[in-house]
Structure 1
């Protein structure tokens, strides 16, 4: 196999990482746009970029400020500043004396080039108002986990440690490659004669039209055994778990039909949320298509999937040849990336794995939108960069994206703090994490478990960007 794209040289990559705007980082907030209730309590303001920020200061500050990066906000949706993942967790943190801060980001969508400087400018505004914190921790959920990891790699001098929750820690190029694969399989196997575009979407209207068309094909296929097997194959290429929403019944290990039924709902969610509309927004920022499947061996990817056995069983039950369908995927015309778009996505949203401060990354095991295997991609990059001693990962046994309890989130924070205080990782085992969770909030679940995710199927990072496929512009 040939390697994936290498953007210029290692030096150019590092320069790209450093190319995010600095004026917004250094600029203080506009004093005329700032309002506050008192020296403690809520403070709100506006940054020179136009982003808003909010800060919550407890009555008895413990000296630690938590810089929270929120998740993806759909283009055009309300975009308020956030400084905590939810109100219950916020109340617990304030009660324990933590100061909280976070911005809205100046734009919505795949906004990393705004989010990182806006978060750092918010930290500057916090320091200007309240003084230097004894300890600064960056944390974030979902897309905010990507923002947090970008801060940890590129601006480690501003923080003491970082906490990613259900984060896109596989980075941008890997994310969009892995999102392309299930859509490609569905179109090829369920609608081979259709003209549904998977990339190069000109606007949101076209994206919605394409999502609706492919979703209709999936709905029709779900009524037959062959269609269900093919939907399961597409789900496997994204490592969609068989239990992926808390409202679902957790299926038995060999209940292949129940497993597929759960995946079917997640596949439709992926088409609705990420595969078209969010892709179109990201392509508009990148200046073209930033993902590819040229050179990808789908039989090999399936062989590494966490749900490959389910796919085998459903194909057998349907009397369908899995070998033939994989051959069909191999023969289908592939999608090439725009090198300039890959370079933009790589330079702004992929990771070197080079940590200089401790990071704890936590994931639910049943996440369909940002699969738990993203943690394998993060581990791969950090290990290649020689930073493995600074990273720890933990897992909660629950379905859904970012479905952490307040107790679990506080336990993760306290575990990172212990590392910062002692200089050593300790208590990262499930028993200790659950004990910390129950102590922090006995009213919500503590579900940490021992877990090791299977490989991420389309890894791409700046330590070694090869992902088993090749990318060209022809």
Structure 2
């Protein structure tokens, strides 16, 4: 790629995040920091640059007319095998335009592979930063941010390569990590198969041969996974037509903590409207069976070299008691005249799924956050996320606290349904919040009122829905993978 001649060096301008409380003090401190900062960034006219990294991944760079010295490294979310895999450097075009208008430079890569690509994504993203430095110049500040799987990639970069970034922003991220993610997915599909397809003939990891076998892990190939998904999906559709089936689907959804409002296109059910909540959960559970539970799992198993999840030793009665949807499940079972105790007993007695050590170790090596932050991180999450339920933030907060890094983490929540359904205003408010923390050295007000004020000022045309919220416990106890491997006898 041809290098562009570097324009003259001048003092960078930083976009000023507007702070809802103590604005004069916060702004004054920020201005002092900017005045003292070395003029090492290289402002330029607006440019759009594309190229290819050594791994074969593509990268894309956008610079504004007047660069403020901060580069935002964006990590995109999961892309299934065979799907288009372009390089992107922002979550959406409206947010991208606002960031460029404020003077931020943007960079991101496509990753060398699609699928569960954390191993490839981290070095590709760091290589994209190298490309930015070569094409544009050295940044004063580097902020890593990403959404969904990209939130996990961002957190991995922040924890394992703190020298490359000054702070991080995870949006609806899988911050509980790959081990916990696949365990939680297994919990839901295991409950569905046990309760809705007791004649599937499956035992432990394997699905039985024949027309009714439903395999949950250890797939022979993508076609095998698709067959099992189709069979379980058919049982799921039949069950939704009966009161017993709806209660059991709600139980499986509760084990994964799928919220009763997870589609922003539907009205939010009343807190005690359990039938409406279950109908929403059913739609999300169908999506889980159609994609993450089988097709995406099969791709991840090929990557890791085997099954990376287990439910040996798991107490589903205790998990249900910890779930935010315990009351809903009890009410639906009672309405159906069905014994919840009996179904939980069936789950306890059903043959369990064990993990393969090499596969778990792969996930632990590449996709398991430790909580050991060295730079500040800000997490935001929608409260109605069915794909990556909001309780994962509780898991990561516990990990960070356990690593004695709690002062470096702040978390906030938007009152909306869906996965990563943030408005441009909400995303800009989050960028301003972590930018302020990086430049000032301390957190300013991260209350919902302050965040909504920043959101309105950044973009008054889109919603600002930050709300007071604290997620409940993550359904499974959150443990470091090394502890699981060493102490719990999880493997065959």
Aligned to 2:454: 436
Asked whether the 8 Å contact 2:45–2:64 carries over to 1, the reply is no
TM-score by length of 2: 0.88
In structure 2, what is the Cα distance between the partners aligned to 1:339 and 1:33? 47
Q: CA deviation at 1:472?
A: 2.8
CA separation of 1:310 and 1:138: change in aligned 2, threshold 3 A: same
Whose RCO is larger (CA < 8 A, sep 6+)? Answer: 1
TM-score by length of 1: 0.91
Aligned to 2:417: 399
The one of 236, 251, 264 equivalent to 1:233 is 251
User: Between Structure 1 and Structure 2, how many residues are aligned?
Assistant: 443
Deviations, residues 8-64 of structure 1 (Å, cap 9, x unaligned) = xxxxxxxxxxxxxxxxxxxxxxx469999x963200000010000000010110110
CA separation of 1:129 and 1:278: change in aligned 2, threshold 3 A: same
Aligned to 1:326: 344
Asked whether the 8 Å contact 1:136–1:159 carries over to 2, the reply is yes
Deviations, residues 349-397 of structure 1 (Å, cap 9, x unaligned) = 0011100100000000000000000101110110111111000000000
The one of 47, 52, 55 equivalent to 2:58 is 52
The one of 241, 263, 271 equivalent to 2:281 is 263
Asked whether the 8 Å contact 1:385–1:463 carries over to 2, the reply is no
Aligned to 1:162: 168
Asked whether the 8 Å contact 2:4–2:135 carries over to 1, the reply is no
Asked whether the 8 Å contact 2:259–2:386 carries over to 1, the reply is yes
Q: Give ranges in structure 1 of 5+ residues lacking alignment.
A: 1-30
CA separation of 1:68 and 1:49: change in aligned 2, threshold 3 A: same
Pairs within 5 Å for 1:1-40? 31=1, 40=46
Deviations, residues 153-208 of structure 1 (Å, cap 9, x unaligned) = 00010000000000000000000000000100000000011120000012211111
The one of 372, 376, 381 equivalent to 1:358 is 376
1:146 paired with 2:152, answer yes
Determine helix, strand or coil for the equivalent of 2:256.
coil
Deviations, residues 334-359 of structure 1 (Å, cap 9, x unaligned) = 00000111111111100111001000
Deviations, residues 220-251 of structure 1 (Å, cap 9, x unaligned) = 00111000000000000000000001012211
Asked whether the 8 Å contact 2:71–2:104 carries over to 1, the reply is yes
In structure 2, what is the Cα distance between the partners aligned to 1:126 and 1:455? 40
Aligned to 1:303: 321
Pairs within 5 Å for 1:155-304? 155-194=161-200, 195-304=213-322
Deviations, residues 104-134 of structure 1 (Å, cap 9, x unaligned) = 0000000111100000000011011211101
CA separation of 1:447 and 1:175: change in aligned 2, threshold 3 A: same
Please identify the structure whose Cα radius of gyration is greater: 2
Aligned to 2:332: 314
Aligned to 2:106: 100
Aligned to 1:446: 464
Deviations, residues 312-355 of structure 1 (Å, cap 9, x unaligned) = 00000000000000000000000000011111111110011100
In structure 2, what is the Cα distance between the partners aligned to 1:34 and 1:175? 43
CA separation of 1:460 and 1:75: change in aligned 2, threshold 3 A: farther
In structure 2, what is the Cα distance between the partners aligned to 1:302 and 1:463? 22
Asked whether the 8 Å contact 2:187–2:256 carries over to 1, the reply is yes
CA separation of 1:90 and 1:459: change in aligned 2, threshold 3 A: farther
CA separation of 1:159 and 1:362: change in aligned 2, threshold 3 A: same
Asked whether the 8 Å contact 2:261–2:269 carries over to 1, the reply is yes
Aligned to 2:438: 420
Q: Give ranges in structure 2 of 5+ residues lacking alignment.
A: 7-43, 201-212
Asked whether the 8 Å contact 1:174–1:459 carries over to 2, the reply is no
CA separation of 1:35 and 1:317: change in aligned 2, threshold 3 A: farther
Runs of 4+ aligned residues of structure 1 deviating over 6 Å after TM superposition are 32-36
Once superposed, what is the RMSD of the aligned Cα atoms? 1.8
In structure 1, what is the Cα distance between the partners aligned to 2:215 and 2:4? 46
